[in-house]
Chains A and B, each alone.
Chain A
Amino acid sequence: MLEVLLDAPSELHGWAIMKAATRSGPTVYQVLERLTEIGWVSARWEAQHPDPGKPRRRFYRLTPVALPAARALVDERRPQAKPAPRLRPSLGGDL
C-alpha cells in the first residue's frame, strides 16, 4: 500500500488504492486508519464528483513528513533483484 501511495502521481481515492494494491476493502481501510493515526497519510474529501450525481470521494496521500521514511521502508522490503548468473568459461570443449 505504501508503494501504491508512493508511486501515485497524485492523491488516490479508496477504490483506486484497492485496485492498485490488489487488496480487499477491510485490509486497505485498516492500513489507512493506522497510517492516518501515525500521521503518514492525510485525507481530504473532494468538494464534488466531476460527474454530476455521483457521490463525492475521499482522497488519500502520503504526508511530506512520511515520504522519506515510507520510501526507505519500501526499498527495504522490496525483493532484491537476483544477481545475474556468472558466466563460466567452458572447460574442455572442442579443442
Chain B
Amino acid sequence: MTGWVLATLGGFILGALVNEFSDLCPWLARGVVRWAACRWTSDSTLALSYAEEWVAVIDARPGKLLKLFTGPAGGRGGFAILYRDTSQNAVRAHVSETLQALSHPIQVYGSPIALSVSCGLAFAHRLGDFAELYQSADSALLQARRQGKPLVTFGRDVYGAGFEEPGPVMA
C-alpha cells in the first residue's frame, strides 16, 4: 500500500517537475540567446539587435524543450549556440588586415610580384604545453594552405572546446 502511494506521489511530483521545466525552457532559451548576442559582438547596439532577433528565432521554433536547443542545435556543442569568441575574431581581423596589406603586389625591378600569404592561428586560454599549441597552429596553417588562397585559419583550441573557422583574407 505504501509503495503504491509513494509511486503515485513520485509520478505526480515528477510530472509536475517536467511540466515546470518545460515551461521554464523558453524563458531559459531567451536568456541564453541574449547572453550569446552579447558574446557575439562587442558592439552593444548590434548585440541588442541580435538579441531581439534571436529571441524571435527561439520563439519561432516549435515546442518548449526544443527551444532551449534551437540556438545550440548543430553548433559546436552545448550552449556554444550563437556564441562567438570575440577575442578570436578581433585577432583574426587584425591578422587579416595585415595579410591584406602584405598581399598587394610589390614592384621588383619594375615588375609587379604578387604575394600569397596564409596564416594558421591557435589559441591557448592558459599557459601550458607549448608543443601542443604549436602543433595546433601548424595544422591550421596546413589547412589554410590547402585551401589554395590566402587565408587566416584557426586551429583547434588547445585547452578550449575546439574552434575552426577559416576566413578569407582576399576577395
Q: Which residues of A contact B (CB under 8 A)?
A: 13-16, 18, 23-27, 29-30, 49, 54-58
B-chain residues with CB within 8 Å of residue A55 when the two chains form the complex:
52, 55-56, 59
A-chain residues with CB within 8 Å of residue B154 when the two chains form the complex:
none
B-chain residues with CB within 8 Å of residue A57 when the two chains form the complex:
53, 56-57, 60
Minimum distance in angstroms from B43 CB to a CB of chain A: 12
* B53→A24 contact, CB < 8 A: no
Q: Which residues of B contact A (CB under 8 A)?
A: 40, 49-50, 52-57, 59-61, 70-76, 80-84, 165
* A13→B60 contact, CB < 8 A: yes
Residue from B52, B55, B84 within 8 A of A26 (CB atoms): B84
Minimum distance in angstroms from A43 CB to a CB of chain B: 9
B-chain residues with CB within 8 Å of residue A56 when the two chains form the complex:
52, 56
A-chain residues with CB within 8 Å of residue B83 when the two chains form the complex:
26
Question: Can you list 21 A-B contacts (CB < 8 A)?
Answer: A14-B53, A14-B54, A14-B60, A15-B56, A18-B57, A24-B72, A24-B73, A25-B54, A25-B57, A25-B71, A25-B74, A25-B81, A26-B82, A29-B50, A30-B84, A54-B56, A55-B52, A55-B56, A56-B56, A57-B57, A58-B49
Select from chain A the residue with minimum beta-carbon distance to B60: A15
* B81→A26 contact, CB < 8 A: yes
A-chain residues with CB within 8 Å of residue B76 when the two chains form the complex:
26
Whole-angstrom CA separation of A16 from B70 in the bound complex = 12
Residue from A23, A24, A27, A58 within 8 A of B56 (CB atoms): A58
Whole-angstrom CA separation of A58 from B59 in the bound complex = 13
Whole-angstrom CA separation of A40 from B57 in the bound complex = 22
Whole-angstrom CA separation of A55 from B71 in the bound complex = 16
B-chain residues with CB within 8 Å of residue A16 when the two chains form the complex:
60
Q: What 4 A-B pairs have minimum CB-CB distances, sorted nearest first?
A: A24-B74, A15-B60, A55-B56, A57-B56
Apart from A26-B75, A49-B56, 7 more pairs, CB < 8 Å: A13-B57, A14-B57, A15-B61, A18-B57, A25-B75, A55-B55, A57-B56
Minimum distance in angstroms from B18 CB to a CB of chain A: 25
Residue from B50, B59, B60, B74 within 8 A of A23 (CB atoms): B74
* B59→A54 contact, CB < 8 A: yes
